[in-house]
Amino acid sequence: MTTNRALNDWIDEIARLTKPDRVVWCDGSENENRTLIEQMIADGTLIELNPQRYPNCYLHRSDPRDVARTEQSTFICTPKREDAGPTNNWMSPEETRRKVGPLFDGIMRGRTMYVVPYLMGPPGSPFSSVGVEVTDSPYVVANMRIMTRMGTVALEHLGASGEFVKGLHALGDLDPARRYICHFPEERLIWSINSGYGGNALLGKKCHALRIASAQARDEGWMAEHMMIVGIEDPSGNVTYIAGAFPSACGKTNLAMLVPPPSQKGFKVWTVGDDIAWLRFGPDGRLWAVNPETGFFGVAPGTSEKTNPNAMAALSRNSIFTNVALTPEGTPWWEGMSPPPPTATDWQGQPWTPSSGRKAAHPNARYTAPARQCPSISPHWEDPQGVPISAIIFGGRRARLAPLVYQSFNWQHGVFIGASMASETTAAATGKVGVVRRDPMAMIPFCGYNMADYFRHWLEMGAGRDKMPMIFHVNWFRTDEDGNFLWPGFGENLRVLRWIIDRVNGRAAAVETPIGFVPAPDSLDLTGLNISTETMNKLLFIDREAWREEARSVAEFFNRFEDRLPAELWEEHRQLLARLGG
């Protein structure tokens, strides 16, 4: 119980509905966490890892049918179908109450109901928002403790206010056929049932900080975006902040934690956030951003000392691993981490060897690690006013189309670039390789309202403002005719970030092309890189015929929004075709 009437009343209502044996209010304390962890070790929910190598780290194996977000069971529940838009599943609030509501009746019988107050955003920040997740999963509680500011601090921030996002989560029987992740943006309410998986069950993250928050941001004139935030410090100590939206499998977390290569002497990269950015105008008219989270819920496979040493350091203690393999030494392992161990236990608990012919870790295996443990974490990552954003980067995985980097002509053109973003699938996500998926602003799975209205909100945010971040598009994944990557990527991407910063400051030269500005020859610092002029030309080449084909595909996508799509985006589309010569 708290002194907050609205909260107590809601918890009473939920307890009457779900009928748990016990109700536990979580305070976020060390003791409380210890008790929960010990209980989960005892009942097999967690396996303790080698305390010498991975202190206070645990492995969780999920139900094999419950290993990823399930978009087909994710719903936006607005009174009008049009307000959810063509890219979201929609169910009316009444139908949801009728169809999904009864599934919660008595669902916590024999179980403990945890009340988890949490704060998204730094304490005392005007950006911050309180949520309360009610769950019968202690695994969810332990993860929320890493990913959010949980417990007393959230209740203090809330005070007597009734303004908090309500999240109801129940594990149920994990049956995918009766799985529902429902969002009621008007009521700031989330219902999640029959999944324990992170994105479906850690309601502070995708459900609150993106789907509910994006709808709230539209109403209140701010932005909730699927973006990493990074600060680039130059040798004189100046730090420039960049926010970036990337679809899955583009290495957004790796970019947020980039390690400068030896050739980029004197530069430092500071991590502010790896997944979500909340952006508001500051008193100076600039756009400022906070990371509402306190942890990283990252894809483990592919993460290594080579690709992301900062993530490896962050996850080396006080972390939870989900669906990774376990070595005989009691350490976690996943594909791409290190040479395979001679034997291991796979993510389902079965014996595994490198010759088993199957993956040891699930391709969507995760680590949950505290952000404060990241060696590159920015000294400003918890600043209540956020950090000022100078540039926004959109990215995609495009084998043949998009150049390494290009800059939009202006804000409206940049919104067009974000709205027409796409990425090619990798085997990890879908099993199908190289299929182009439209994913505007990387928000397709996370926008809590009609994306046509979301594009309008983006346009309106920049209208009549002269201090908006400049908008860029990057593609680390362009290949040659034989499918070889043309750009070394990873730490070397800092060279591209430096060009972006130099453009923001009016220092770098560019060439105007039909799609935007690309680096002029010699304007990208390539010292110490063994990359030929021919390769650079291929990386920056604009294939007009391929872009005309792209424009046709973008038109097809835009048409899905019918007359709700802002005319400005059709105008940008028309101008692009005109610049491409038809």
The structure tokens listed for 369 are 């690690």
Taking alpha carbons only, the member of 185, 219, 206, 208 closest to residue 93 is: 185
Unique residue bearing structure tokens 């593609």: 475
Which option in Mn ion, ligand TSX, none does residue 242 bind, with CB closer than 5 to 8 A by kind? none
Which option in ligand TSX, Mn ion, none does residue 245 bind, with CB closer than 5 to 8 A by kind? none
| Other Cβ atoms within 10 Å of 411 Cβ, number | 20
Handedness of CA 32, 34, 40, 45 (dihedral sign): positive
β-strand pairing of 22-25 with 112-120: parallel
Cβ 299 to ligand TSX shortest distance, Å: 8
Cβ 181 to ligand TSX shortest distance, Å: 25
Taking alpha carbons only, the member of 319, 365, 359 closest to residue 53 is: 319
Cβ neighbors of 380 (< 8 A, separation 6 or more) are 231, 270, 272, 387
Which option in ligand TSX, Mn ion, none does residue 11 bind, with CB closer than 5 to 8 A by kind? none
Nearer to Mn ion, 96 or 200 (CB): 200
Nearer to Mn ion, 100 or 272 (CB): 272
Total binding residues for Mn ion by CB under 5 A? 1
CB-count burial class (<10 Å; 0-12, 13-18, 19+) for 399: middle
Residue 205: phi and psi, rounded to 5, are -85, -95
The C-alpha atoms of residue 566 and residue 460 are separated, in whole angstroms, by 11
Single out the catalytic residue among 26, 207, 250, 374: 250
Nearer to ligand TSX, 298 or 445 (CB): 298
Nearer to ligand TSX, 48 or 480 (CB): 480
The C-alpha atoms of residue 400 and residue 81 are separated, in whole angstroms, by 37
How far, CA to CA in Å, does 46 sit from each of 37, 56, 212, 362, 477?
7, 11, 31, 17, 37
Nearer to ligand TSX, 101 or 488 (CB): 488
Cβ 437 to Mn ion shortest distance, Å: 15
CB-count burial class (<10 Å; 0-12, 13-18, 19+) for 267: middle
Which option in ligand TSX, Mn ion, none does residue 54 bind, with CB closer than 5 to 8 A by kind? none
Stretch touching Mn ion by CB under 5 A, among 65-73, 268-276, 351-359, 495-503: 268-276
Residue 250 annotated in active site: yes
Residue 244: phi and psi, rounded to 5, are -145, 130
Cβ 230 to ligand TSX shortest distance, Å: 10
CA dihedral 338, 246, 436, 428 (to 10 degrees): 20
Which option in ligand TSX, Mn ion, none does residue 485 bind, with CB closer than 5 to 8 A by kind? ligand TSX
Cβ 476 to ligand TSX shortest distance, Å: 3
The C-alpha atoms of residue 458 and residue 572 are separated, in whole angstroms, by 14
Stretch touching Mn ion by CB under 5 A, among 259-267, 272-280, 326-334, 398-406: 272-280
Cβ 284 to ligand TSX shortest distance, Å: 30
The C-alpha atoms of residue 90 and residue 463 are separated, in whole angstroms, by 30
The C-alpha atoms of residue 136 and residue 145 are separated, in whole angstroms, by 15
How far, CA to CA in Å, does 143 sit from each of 29, 147, 196, 579?
14, 6, 11, 50
Stretch touching Mn ion by CB under 5 A, among 267-275, 323-331, 424-432, 493-501: 267-275
Nearer to ligand TSX, 298 or 418 (CB): 298
Radius of gyration, CA atoms only, the chain? 23
Cβ 275 to Mn ion shortest distance, Å: 4
Which option in ligand TSX, Mn ion, none does residue 255 bind, with CB closer than 5 to 8 A by kind? ligand TSX
Cβ 490 to ligand TSX shortest distance, Å: 4
Tell me if 550 contacts Mn ion by CB under 5 A.
Answer: no
- Give the residue nearest to Mn ion (CB): 275
Cβ 341 to ligand TSX shortest distance, Å: 22
Which option in Mn ion, ligand TSX, none does residue 249 bind, with CB closer than 5 to 8 A by kind? ligand TSX
Nearer to ligand TSX, 485 or 537 (CB): 485
CA dihedral 523, 527, 531, 535 (to 10 degrees): 0
User: What is the number of alpha carbons within 13 Å of residue 427 lying toward its C-beta?
Assistant: 4
Taking alpha carbons only, the member of 446, 552, 417, 423 closest to residue 87 is: 446
- 365-386 as b/e: b if 16+ CB within 10 A: bbbbbbbebbebbbebbbeeeb
The C-alpha atoms of residue 168 and residue 191 are separated, in whole angstroms, by 5
Nearer to Mn ion, 271 or 327 (CB): 271
**Strand order of the sheet with strand 351-352?**
332-333, 325-326, 344-345, 351-352
Q: Which residues bind ligand TSX (CB under 6 A)?
A: 249-251, 254-255, 258, 302, 476-477, 485, 488-490, 493
Nearer to ligand TSX, 339 or 581 (CB): 339
Residue from 32, 275, 382, 572 touching Mn ion (CB under 5 A): that is: 275
Stretch touching Mn ion by CB under 5 A, among 238-246, 270-278, 400-408, 425-433: 270-278
Which option in Mn ion, ligand TSX, none does residue 275 bind, with CB closer than 5 to 8 A by kind? Mn ion
- Give the residue nearest to ligand TSX (CB): 251
- Judged by DSSP in three states, 517 sits in strand
Nearer to Mn ion, 244 or 403 (CB): 244
Which option in ligand TSX, Mn ion, none does residue 488 bind, with CB closer than 5 to 8 A by kind? ligand TSX
String marking each residue 467-506 x if it binds Mn ion according to CB under 5 A: ----------------------------------------
Which option in Mn ion, ligand TSX, none does residue 258 bind, with CB closer than 5 to 8 A by kind? ligand TSX
Cβ 399 to ligand TSX shortest distance, Å: 11
Residues in touch with Mn ion (CB under 5 A): 275
Cite the active site residues.
250
